[in-house]
Amino acid sequence: MSSTRGRSRSRRQRADGRYELTPGLLELVAERFKALGEPARLSILNALRERELSVSEIMDETGLGQANVSKHLQMLHTLGFVERRRDGLYVYYRIADDDIFRLCDMMCGRIERETRERGRLVS
């Protein structure tokens, strides 16, 4: 899941850039959104935003326990959100595709707009 720059268009992607959401593709998208629906996983992704980290460094950054971090990293790796490399006794994790943060930033912007709008409605 490396950067999408320079990739040719998928057969499921239309000329306007949108994807044809077939039942199979919808299932895969839902699986990934479900993974991103867990705050601990988002916390791990956020910790990895700037640089690769070991499991113990991720624990320090997130406050999560070792078993919890390992479980979530396994899912994030299986779904292609993170990559890992071994260096001696340590395993280091990094973001596989920075585009995940575009999605997070879009959602944060939406939440900010909704919050502002609610403030106007309540005031």
DSSP characters over 16-60: TS-B---HHHHHHHHHHHHHHT-HHHHHHHHHTSSS-EEHHHHHH
What are the pLDDT digits (tens) for 74-122? Answer: 999 999 999 999 999 999 999 999 999 999 999 999 999 999 888 876 5
Write out the residue range of the structural domain in which residue 54 sits: 23-97
Q: What is the CATH number of the domain that holds 77?
A: 1.10.10.10
The tally of domains found in the chain comes to: 1
Contact 82, 96 (CB under 8 A): yes
Measured in Å, how far apart are the chain's first and last C-alpha atoms?
Answer: 45
Does this model's pTM top 0.85?
no
| pLDDT at 62 exceeding the cut of 70 | yes
Residues paired with 17 in a beta bridge = none
Assess whether pLDDT exceeds 60 at residue 7: no
